[in-house]
Every structure is written in C-alpha cells, then in structure tokens.
Amino acid sequence: MSDKVIIFDTTLRDGEQCPGASMNLREKMEVARQLARLNIDVIEAGFPVISDGDFEAVSKIATEIKGPVICGLARCIAKDIDAAGAAIKAAGERGRIHTFISTSKIQVENQLKKQVDDVIPIAVECVRRARTFVKDVEFSPMDATRTDPEFLVRLLNAVIEAGATTLNIPDTVGYTVPEQYAELIGYLRANVRNADDVIFSVHCHNDLGLATANSLAAVRAGARQVEGTINGIGERAGNAALEEVVMALKMRNDYYGGVTTGINTKEIVKASRLVSRMSGLMVQRSKAIVGENAFAHGSGIHQDGILKKRETYEIIDPRDVGWGETELPLTKHSGRHAVAKRLEHLGYFLNEKELGSVFVRFKEIGDKKKFVYDDDLSVLVDDSIDAHLEGYTLDYIHVASGSSTIPTATVRLKRGEEILQDSSPGNGAVDAAMKTIDRILNQQGHLVEYNVQAVTQGKDALGEVTLKCDFGGGPLVTGKGASTDVIEASARAYLNAVNRVLSNKTQGQAAPASDAP
Ligand code: KIV
Ligand code: ZN
C-alpha cells in the first residue's frame, strides 16, 4: 500500500454549502490558487450542474489552476455527469468526476423512494458514463456509515468493475466514531475485490466533533485519501479540518506508520485566513493550528518552559504552519509597484484595473494610519475589487449620532456615471447608514448577522465588518467592508452584500440547491 495520503479539498464545494458562505468567482479563484500553493492533491471545485455560476467557477479553475487534480461533483444522474465532464474538460488528464448516490436504507427508501438494491445498476451506469469523460472517477455511496456493510461490498465491487478508481466512504451525517469507522474501512478493504487497485477515501462530517479523529482512524485502517475543508467549514458542524488532519499525520507520523502528505504546511495559516475572509466565517480563537491562540501560552510555567526550550510545551513549531511570516509593513509613501509586489507575495495576482482600485484604497488608508500591514492589504483587496467590478461604490457618508440626537445618515453612491444620494434616520449610526442605502436603492435588506473585528492591533486599526443579509427569498448574502471608521466599514459591507446580489443575478448563480448533498 502506498505511504502517500492524498489530500482532497472540498472547501469550494462542501465548504461553500455552509449557509451564507457562498463565494463569488473571484473569491473562488483566490482560494483555488492558495490551495495550489498548499500543494493540495485534489481540488473539488464545485457542483457544475447546480448553477451557471458553479459551472463557470469549475471550468475556470480547471483552465487556470495548474498542479492539483480538478474535480467536479455529480449526482448519479446523466445530466450531472455531463455537466461535470464539460466543466473539468480543460484540466485534461488532471480532471476527475466524483459521482455519488445515497445507499443507506433510510435515505434510499425515504428520499429516493427506491429499494437499496435499485441503487447498484444506477451507480454502475453513472460510473460508466463518467469514464467516457475521464479516467479518474471517484464514487461515493452517500451515508455509507449508516449503510449495510455487506451491501456496500456488493455495490463497490460493481462500481470498480464499471471503472471507479477512488472509493469514497462518506460519514455524511457525522454519525460514526473512530473505532467503528476504522473497522468499516478495514472490512471493505478486506472484502472488496481488487481493493488494492483502488484508493479508499474518507469524507467525515463533524456533527459529533469527531471528523478529524474519524479521518485519522481511517488512515490507520488503510484509507489513502482524506477529504475535508480548510478551517473545517461545511454544512452543519462542518467537515474534517484538513489543517488538523495534515498536521496530525505529520507530527504523529510515528503512530500513522510513516505515511506522508505532499502538503506545503507553511501555507496553512495563509489558506486559513483567506478562506475565513472569503467565506465570511470567522475562525474561533482557540481553533487547533490556525486559531489566534493556537500558539499563545498564558501560564507562567508554560512561558518559562518555552523560553528555555520551545519543545517543552509546543509540539509544533508555529513557523512550520506559517505563523510569524509577516513582512515589514507598508506606509502611505509606498508606491504602486511595492504594493503590487506585496500583494503578489500574499497570493493576489490582480489585473491593472483591480490593482488601481486597491491602490486608491491603500492611499486612503495610508493617510489614516501609520502602517499598512499585510492583513490590512488583504482586507483592502476584498473591500475594493468587488464593488468596482459590478455595482455601487460608496462615494460619501456622513452620520450624525450622539446620546441626545436621532442618528441620521447621509449617503452618496456611485455606479458608473450615476450618482444617488439620500438620508435617513435609524436606530443607531449603523442602522441609519444601512437604511439610507436601502432607501436609495428602493429595497429592504434584513441584517441577520453582524461582526466587527480589528484587522491588526492598535487604536488606528482597520475595522473589518462581516455581515450576512437576507434580501428576501434567496440565500443569505455575505458582505464585507473595512475602514478605520466602523460606521463606514459597515456601510461598505452592506453595499458589498448588495453588489453580490446584483452580480449573482448577472452571473445566473442559483441558491444552494436543495438537492445538494
Ligand atoms: O457528505 C457527503 O456524503 C458528501 C458526498 C457528496 C461525498 O458530501
Ligand atoms: Zn459532505
């Protein structure tokens, strides 16, 4: 059996299914580029049949991202397979189709309205169809951990014969526990015909907080592909956090029989921050590996030990996962070239127009704060590009508020040559700013979630606002905005959400489909 564990990232598919985490095309491309720098083996780029936007993202990733295998997801339905095959075409030999169908009695009988045995010919037919597009076909019996293992063996034998090369065993509802999952993987490897000619893969959800533990137990039992997401984002409690799986395999290589991954671990923290910003999902401070506090030692005894010898209380060198890699900050005197170079270093390859927008914001911020740090720059990229691509930009905002005044905002928006201005009172400065934007655009957004976070330290730090809005009917929309003034940051974030709705309409992006797995 190979010593290499294939790392399969589904941040852009299962991760993006998390409510309010949907990303636009630019954000997906940025995440995909960072996944390539991480040296991820397989990127599941999306579910092409679900919307034009997903199809476009998968095709663009297949065209532009070099290195990893690019995978498109498909139900066991002909039109899904055809869409996935077309979307990944540009990846050529690096293209993979991942097709799945429910196999547990509870899902097959209640959702598919079939009997479990009916699933075998459907799966075989779909794997065969997928093989007409690519040699690399992954098959998932959905809800495998609640499926009869003997039935799984019959089904897997049939799909291998039809041409499946990777067999993924999903713990779709996060039901299994480590010993039981390892037993299942061991049983399947022992009983499926030609098991050594295929890769057994695992895909764990975190409903019981066991996704990482289950994935690792499966590796001990012979799984050689682990699926998961950066920061563990995903439906409900999320998927296995790949940074945890990768670092556990690296640090406890002794226990896991010398297996290796090809991951460039120094890129982990950057990937985590990027995904957090792009998805609008914060990383909890105490999150393993990538949380702000993951390497912060509070107790005096620990600090003393660390100072004497780091390994006394730290099992991972923080630099190995990319902590502490910050460069000298830029200032308002830094030129466009220096900003472009630093952005490239951070993984942003912007065209001239985009760079121009970021540079304008950089100068504005540089006038307000002494140093512009790498994290500030990353936030400015989000803050400036999307608004300039499609929709409205904030031209001016004035808010009057205080303990004995009715908070009132005046806002001026620009879209091309069009200039729109109005004012409105509100229940506070932020509310007034958002109500004014609603009034100008003749809409009514409902704020579902609102977070403000200082991007760096210090009183002059940029405040980054991340919010989720309901504009009626569709999915929740995330908006992000940054400024040294949190009211302005809030207005920018709200406008960013509005612009995303506009751009989704023009890109024909659908709501996350109800039949998404
Ligand atoms: O959780 C799940 O079962 C899935 C499949 C599509 C692999 O995401
Ligand atoms: Zn899943």
pLDDT at 49 over 90: yes
Using a 6 Å CB cutoff, which residues line ligand 1?
Answer: 14, 100, 140, 142, 168, 170, 172, 203, 205, 517
The tens digit of pLDDT for each residue in 241-298 reads: 999 999 999 999 999 999 999 999 999 999 999 999 889 898 999 999 999 889 887 7
Q: What mean pLDDT is predicted for residues 33-57?
A: 97
Picking from 79, 87, 92, the residue whose alpha carbon sits closest to that of residue 59 is 87
* CA geometry: angle 223, 271, 357, nearest 5 deg: 150
pLDDT at 515 over 60: no
Q: Tokens 């077309």 map to which residue?
A: 86
Q: What mean pLDDT is predicted for residues 170-177?
A: 98
How far does residue 103's CA lie from ligand 1's centre (Å)?
12
**Residue 510: per-residue pLDDT:** 47
**Residue 213: per-residue pLDDT:** 98
The pLDDT > 70 percentage for the chain reads 96
Cα(40)–Cα(218) distance, integer angstroms: 19
What's the chain's average pLDDT? 92
Kindly provide the b/e burial profile for residues 273-299, where b requires at least 16 CB atoms within 10 angstroms of the residue's own CB: bbbbbbbbbebeeebebbeeebbeeee
What is the pLDDT confidence band of residue 513, given thresholds at 50, 70 and 90? very low
Distance of CA 461 to the CA centre of its chain: 26
Question: Three-class SS string for 365-377?
Answer: HHHHCCCECHHHH
* Pocket perturbation via mutation, ligand 1, pick of 140, 227, 236 by most ligand atoms within 8 A of CB: 140
Nearest alpha carbon, ligand 1 atom 8: 517
The tens digit of pLDDT for each residue in 396-444 reads: 999 999 988 999 999 999 998 899 999 999 999 999 999 999 999 999 9
Picking from 413, 420, 423, 422, the residue whose alpha carbon sits closest to that of residue 494 is 413
Nearest alpha carbon, ligand 1 atom 1: 172
Nearest alpha carbon, ligand 1 atom 6: 517
The ligand 1 atom at the shortest distance from the C-alpha of residue 239 is: 1
How far does residue 481's CA lie from ligand 1's centre (Å)?
33
Query: For residue 201, which ligand has an atom nearest its CA?
Result: 1
Cα(77)–Cα(82) distance, integer angstroms: 9
The tens digit of pLDDT for each residue in 317-365 reads: 999 999 976 667 899 999 999 999 988 888 788 889 889 989 999 999 9
Q: Which helix (H) or strand (E) holds 95?
A: strand 95-102
* CA geometry: angle 123, 128, 132, nearest 5 deg: 145
How far does residue 441's CA lie from ligand 2's centre (Å)?
38
Q: What is the pTM of this model?
A: 0.88
What is the pLDDT confidence band of residue 378, given thresholds at 50, 70 and 90? confident
Nearest alpha carbon, ligand 1 atom 3: 172
How far does residue 13's CA lie from ligand 2's centre (Å)?
9
**Residue 300: per-residue pLDDT:** 78
* Pocket perturbation via mutation, ligand 1, pick of 203, 215, 226, 227 by most ligand atoms within 8 A of CB: 203
The tens digit of pLDDT for each residue in 120-164 reads: 999 999 999 999 999 999 999 999 999 999 999 999 999 999 999
